[in-house]
Structure 1
C-alpha cells in the first residue's frame, strides 16, 4: 500500500539504525538512507517525550535546505525513561552496566518520537511502551554487555536480543516502538500524507 502511495515520492530515512531500516523495508516501501552527524544535545528542562520530539525534529531540521518537492524525510529518536530521567545510548561498558542495573526489577518507559518532514509539512508524533524487567544479577548483566555490546541502543539493551528473552517479564504497548520505530503509527501517519 505504501509503495503504491509513494510511487512518485522519494522517501528518505535519516537513520543509521539497522533495526529502523529493517522495519521500513518490512513496510514494503522504497527508501534511501541519508545520514548527518548531529550532536544530540537537548535543553535540560525537557522531560520524556519532549526530549525525543526535540531530537527527532533537530535531526529533521538538519536536512531543511536539501529537501525538494517530492522528498519525504523520516527521522526518529528513542530514550528510556526511568525515575524521572532519560537513559540514552551508553558511553561505555560501565555506563551500560549501570543503566541495566538501574532498570533491573523495575518498569521503565521506552519513548520513540518520529518526525516526518516534507518541503511544506512537518509532523511529529511519539509512542510510549512500558517494559518490566525482572531482577538481573551482575553476571547476567555483564554476560549480556560482553556478548551483545549494546552501545548503540537507548538504555543499553535491545529487546530483540538475549536480554529480551530472559529479562523482560511484560510489555504494555508497541513492541516495534521498543526496538526503535513505532511502525503501526508511522504507517498510519504516512498514509495520511
Structure 2
C-alpha cells in the first residue's frame, strides 16, 4: 500500500522519515478558514479530513493518504501563522509566561475508509521581553508556523516546559501516527502489522 502525505511541510516529511515510512508528497489546496462557532478541536479535525479527502480524490485507489493539521490554542482562540511582524509580536506577547495547547489532528484515508486522531500537548512559555521577541521574529523562523514559533529550532529557547508529545508540537505526533499507520498495515521502520 503506497502512502501519500497530503502536506508540503518539511517538518512532517522529516518526522515521517524518522519512523521509517516511505511516501510521496502531494500538498492539499483547501480553504482553511474556521467556520463560525467552530471549536479549535473541531477545526483541526475538519482541516485534516478535508486535506486527506482533497488529495485522496485525485489518487489511485491503491494509495492511502495521510493528512495533518496543527494549531496553537490559547484562551480558546486559534493562533495561525503570523501575517506580519506586528501579528507575530502580538502572538508571542500573548504566549509569554503562559501555558497554551498545541493541537494536531491526523487523518488517514484508505479507499472509502478514514480514521483520525487528535493529540493535544500543553506548552508553557518563559516570560519573554520585547527585545527577545523582536530578535526571534528577525530570524525569519516563525513565519510559516502556527503561534509564531518552532520548538524544533531557535524557538526552543522560548519554551519552559511541555506536557505531552514533543513531535506533536513540531507538527506530527509520531506515536499516534505510527499506530494509525500500523492499524492500516502501512509499513514503517517497526513493521506495518501493529502486532
TM-score (norm 1): 0.92
Matched, 1:138 2:130: yes
Residue deviations 1:112-143 (CA, integer Å, cap 9, x gap): 00110011211111100000001100000010
CA distance in 2, matches of 1:160, 1:184: 17
CA distance in 1, matches of 2:28, 2:160: 37
- How far residue 172 of structure 1 moved from its aligned partner, in angstroms, is 0.2
Which of the residues 68, 84, 87 maps onto 2:76?
84
CA distance in 2, matches of 1:161, 1:20: 14
Which of the residues 30, 36, 59 maps onto 1:44?
36
Q: Does the Cα contact within 8 Å between 1:42 and 1:54 map onto a contact in 2?
A: no
SS at match of 1:61: helix
Poorly superposed stretches of 4+, deviation over 6 Å: none
- How far residue 110 of structure 1 moved from its aligned partner, in angstroms, is 0.3
Matched, 1:154 2:146: yes
Q: Does the Cα contact within 8 Å between 2:8 and 2:27 map onto a contact in 1?
A: yes
CA distance in 1, matches of 2:123, 2:35: 26
Q: Does the Cα contact within 8 Å between 2:26 and 2:55 map onto a contact in 1?
A: no
Residue deviations 1:29-77 (CA, integer Å, cap 9, x gap): 2100012322211212111211100111111121242232320101110
Q: Which runs of 5+ in 1 are unaligned?
A: 1-8
Matched, 1:191 2:171: no
Which of the residues 3, 22, 27 maps onto 1:11?
3
TM-score (norm 2): 0.91
Q: Which runs of 5+ in 2 are unaligned?
A: 185-195
CA distance in 2, matches of 1:58, 1:24: 20
Which of the residues 163, 170, 174 maps onto 1:172?
163
RMSD: 1.1
